[in-house]
Amino acid sequence: MFEILLSDLSGQPLYLQLYTQMRNHIRSGVIRNGTRLPSIRSLHQQLNISKTPIETAFQMLLSEGYIVSKSRSGIFAVNPHENWPAFRPSIDLRQQGDVQNPIPSQSIAAQDIRFDFKPAGVDNEMFPVRIWRKMINEAIENHSADISKYGDTQGEYTLRAVLADYLRKSRGVVCSPEQVIIGSGIAYSIGLIVHLLKGIGRIAHEEPGYVQVREVFALNGFHMLPIPVGEKGISLEALEASGAQAVYVTPSHQLPTGAVMPYSEREYLLEWARTADAYIIEDDYDGEFRYFGKPISSLQSLDHYGRVIYMGTFSKAFTPAIRINYTILPIQLVQRLEELQHILNAPSRVEQWAMTSLIEQGHWYRHVRKMRNTYQRKHQRLLELIESHFSNKAKITGHSAGLHIRMELKTHLPTEELLKMAAEYGVKVYDFRHSWINWVEPEYPEIYLGFAGISESAMEEGILLLKKAWARVWS
């Protein structure tokens, strides 16, 4: 269950060692809230010490509220900080929004949040339950001869082929199935790129930008160079000056600012890569969703020199619960995959087979079209709501694509204060503070709202509450 190390040499009495260690385990979550603890008798046997120090330690924990004793059922751990964002390694930080954003106010318990404009959210109603079950059932049935065999570690060939076809049609991506790697999410993709770009020490990234990518590179010893982001995406001047040999960008909808990189900037960026012999990592995570203006070709589709590593995901248009994403390598990097054969590791074959059929049978195209309509509508609704409730007090940017928008508020209150005020009314909005390596309070606070994971009616209520929460800002 958990470890207690008692030492004669520590100079501390046994009861104190025991008390301290158990308290720490409970506080840190190693002993989870509600866990049934071993009895005094069993600890006595296990630790091979007399019962007195155990009883004393338990008395202390009891009086401090770290344990409760329930008659006939035993002693249970109580974490008094359970609702605090304390260190809890077992809880998904992404789900809590922590990765992209700290919890706005420490005094607000998660359960008090009724309207969450989480930028990473996805519509839950639209998931094609019936069709996906059909695809999965067929996959298991039709591949019974392969159900007990390892698959291609680069991904099932047929999935790579239909995906290459889809990406060509939808995003202009030019590739053969040999260039496609099926993976289980961006951590996996970056984990591979880390090895493909071995020897390249310095990687430029957007500031602000996507925390996870920055951190995975940094954990692997890369020196990360933050490059400022403007209205046209990453600053090409600063990039050129940085001396980077690779850059990670989100050109179709910059995370978090929402900037879309214009065509001419794309050409310039590609030219930079060619001249500097550098690689561009293009994360087209929500490239399917664009609301205004002409779609701009992906960098990959404009690249004639094999400088672009393209990646996309099923997390936005489908679901992040089934972990499938993809990376498209330029041909010269495909050759180096052989060296990486031992770290290649494709996700479940059954789900890959199901995904293949989903695309082959046309369901996927219909689904993406539906999602685009849904998100277009939600997007429109959110803009209307903000317009009608905040009119001249809010300026919206970053809204021509993707699944979240940015709202600049005409006040000089700090962003954190605004998040706190919102949370007090049960509304969670975001500041993406963690996306900056060097966060500076902007002149006007910038608030981020995702619209994909929240229903239109909840959106309405949420914005109304936000208006109430912030009423005194302008009174």
Ligand X SMILES: Cc1ncc(COP(=O)(O)O)c(C=O)c1O
Helix (H, G, I), strand (E, B) or coil at 443: coil
Residue nearest to ligand X (CB): 185
Among 283, 288, 431, 446, binds ligand X (CB under 6 A): 283
CA nearest to 333, candidates 154, 206, 109, 455: 154
- x/- track of binding to ligand X for residues 311-330 (CB under 6 A): --x-x----x----x-----
Alpha helix locations (H) across 123-178?
129-142, 157-171
Give min distance, CB of 398 to a second copy, in A. Answer: 22
Supply the minimum distance, in Å, between the C-beta of residue 290 and a second copy. Answer: 21
Q: Which is nearer to a second copy, 128 or 251 (CB)?
A: 128
d(CA 77, CA 97): 27
Whole-angstrom distance, CA of residue 211 vs CA of residue 176: 30
Specify the residue, 29 or 453, whose C-beta has the smaller distance to ligand X: 453
The residue (of 179 and 250) whose beta carbon lies closer to ligand X is: 250
Considering CB distances under 5 to 8 angstroms, the limit depending on partner class, which of ligand X, a second copy, none binds residue 111? none
- 3-class DSSP state of 183: strand
Q: 160: closest CA among 136, 183, 177?
A: 177
- Smallest distance, Å, CB 100 to ligand X? 7
| Closest distance of CB 461 from ligand X, Å | 25
Draw the binding track, 203-242, toward ligand X (x: CB under 6 A; -: no contact).
Answer: -------x--------------------------------
Choose, by CB under 6 A, the member of 66, 115, 117, 285 that binds ligand X: 285
Q: What is the DSSP string of 84-103?
A: S----TTS-TTTTTTTTS--
Binding residue for ligand X, selected from 67, 173, 175, 186, defined by CB under 6 A: 186
Cα 407 to Cα 283: distance, rounded to the nearest angstrom: 23
Say how many residues touch ligand X, by CB under 6 A. Answer: 12
Which residues are CB-contacts of 221 (< 8 A; sequence separation ≥ 6)?
none
Query: Distance between terminal CA atoms of the chain?
Result: 55
**Interatomic CA distance for residues 165 and 88, integer angstroms:** 42
Q: Taking CB under 6 A as the criterion, which residues in 412-441 touch ligand X?
A: none
For ligand X, the closer CB: 17 or 101 = 101
CB 20 within 8 A of CB 65: no
Look at residues 124, 179, 127, 118 and name the one whose alpha carbon lies nearest to residue 154: 179
Q: Using CB under 6 A, which residues numbered 103 to 142 contact ligand X? A: 120
In the complex, minimum distance from the CB of residue 277 to ligand X, in angstroms, rounded to a whole number: 25
Closest listed residue to residue 397, CA positions, set 384, 381, 408: 408
From the CB of 305, what's the least distance to ligand X, in Å?
24
Residue 158's binding partner out of a second copy, ligand X, none, with CB under 5 to 8 Å set by partner kind? none
Judge contact between 199 and 245, C-beta under 8 A: no
Min. distance of Cβ 472 from ligand X in angstroms? Answer: 33
Matching residue, tokens 């561009």:
280
Task: Tell me the closest approach of the beta carbon of residue 353 to ligand X, in angstroms.
Answer: 18
Question: Where do contacts with ligand X occur on this chain (CB under 6 A)?
Answer: 120, 185-186, 210, 250, 255, 283, 285, 313, 315, 320, 325
